[in-house]
Each structure stands twice: as C-alpha cells, then as structure tokens.
Structure 1
Amino acid sequence: MNDNKSKRAIGFLHAWNGIKEVTKTERNFRIHLIATITVIIAGTIIHLTLIEWAILMLAIGLVLVAEATNAAVEKLIDYVKPEANPLAKTIKDVAASAVLLAALISLVVGLLIFLPKIYGLF
C-alpha cells in the first residue's frame, strides 16, 4: 500500500518537473500561460457563470496540453533524429498544427463567451 503511494508521488513529481521544464524552455507555452492569466482576470471582472468558466478551462487546458505535447514531440525528434530530415520536419509540423488548431478553437470559444458580455456593457 505504501509502495503505491510512493509510486504515485514519484509520478506526480515527474509530471510537475515536466510542467516546470516546459514553462522554463518553451516560449510559446509561457505566452499561452500569459493569455490564460489574462482570460482569468477578464473572466473575473466580467463575472462569468460557472458553465462559462468550465468551458473556458477546457479550452485553456486543450491549448496547454497541445503545447506541452508539441514540446515533447519536438524534443523527442531532436533526440532521435538530430540531423535535418524531411520526415522529422513533417512530424514537428503536424505536432505544431495541433497547437494552432487548439489555439484557434480556444479563440472562438473565448469570443463566443466574451463578446456578448462586452457588447452588453455598452
């Protein structure tokens, strides 16, 4: 029983180290974190509903997970195939496209939630 708790704690520690690493080394991840903080501040000011918060958190999570996954794929490709290779470039491009798609979807979600509230202020 204690061994399982220890393994879970170690797994959580590795995951936390991954979050610290991606934050430290990936500029785009930090940009997404700044956008996240901005959205949270704006949502607090505008008094979003619980369901709006839930939807926004899912959208934010989608982007951050995509960005972290993209960083992992890029690091793996650099490790496995450090020399230039067309297939390695394609793999990196496809991983980056997941981030772009997640960001665009999140932008639309944000606009759908925030624009009616902003228009309601005028």
Structure 2
Amino acid sequence: MSKRTLAESFRDAGAGMGYCLATQRNMRIHLAAACIALFAAWALKLDRLETALVVFAISLVLVAEMFNTALEKTVDLFVATYHPLARTAKHIAAGAVLVAALNALLTGFLVFLPHLRPLFR
C-alpha cells in the first residue's frame, strides 16, 4: 500500500462525511439540530466553556452517527442474509447514537436553560 498524502486523507474523510450526509436521514437531522444549537449559542452569547460543551455534545452525536453508518455498511458487506448477531451489532450501534443524542439534549438543557429563563419572566 502506498503512502497517502495529508491532502488525500482529508479528501477521503470529507467524502465519508459527504456520504453520511447524502445517504443518512438521521445525519441530516442531527446536522440541522447542530446548526440551530450553534446559532442559539451565538444569539445567547454563551461563554467559551458553555460553547465548548455544546460543540463537544454536537461532535459526539455526529461521530456516533458516522460510526453507526460505518458499522452498518461493514455488517452489510459481510452478512448477505439475516443473522441475529448482525442485527444485534446494528442495534448496539444505534443505541450508541441514542446515548450521544440524549447526552446532547441534556447538555443543551443545562447550558441553554439559564439563558432562556429570563426571556420568559
């Protein structure tokens, strides 16, 4: 295997991200939610730590979704017919995405609520 340039590695990583966005509905939903959260962080003038928490939570969800997609495609490559272990592997990966999404939801609640509360008084 030949050595790859850094530019090639970035290009391939971008292609993987593009594939997820083009083919995975949930990835598009997560990205839309991320854009809304980042806009809210900007509009509410969150401090650096709060913004970092939001960005980290967003990143965790997107990474989990990408790993889930990679695992699903790998399982599909090696398992042509139904197999209970393949189903279990896919369910576990989907569960990881759910945990990441719930973490992001809780993080958002804890970070944004103190900034939103004064708007409703």
Could you state the TM-score of these two structures normalised by the residue count of structure 1?
0.93
Which residue number in structure 2 is paired with residue 120 of structure 1?
118
Could you state the TM-score of these two structures normalised by the residue count of structure 2?
0.94
State the shift of 1:120 in Å: 2.1
What is the aligned counterpart of 1:88 among 78, 86, 89?
86
What is the aligned counterpart of 2:43 among 37, 42, 45?
45
After superposition, the CA RMSD in angstroms is 1.4
Alignment of 1:39-78 (within 5 A): 39-78=37-76
- Provide the identity percentage: 41
The alignment partner of 1:84 has SS state of coil
Which residue number in structure 2 is paired with residue 109 of structure 1?
107
Number of equivalences: 119
State the shift of 1:23 in Å: 0.4
Q: 5+ unaligned residues in a row in structure 1: which ranges?
A: none
Large movers: runs of 4+ above 6 Å: none
Q: 5+ unaligned residues in a row in structure 2: which ranges?
A: none
1:46 aligned partner, one-letter code: L
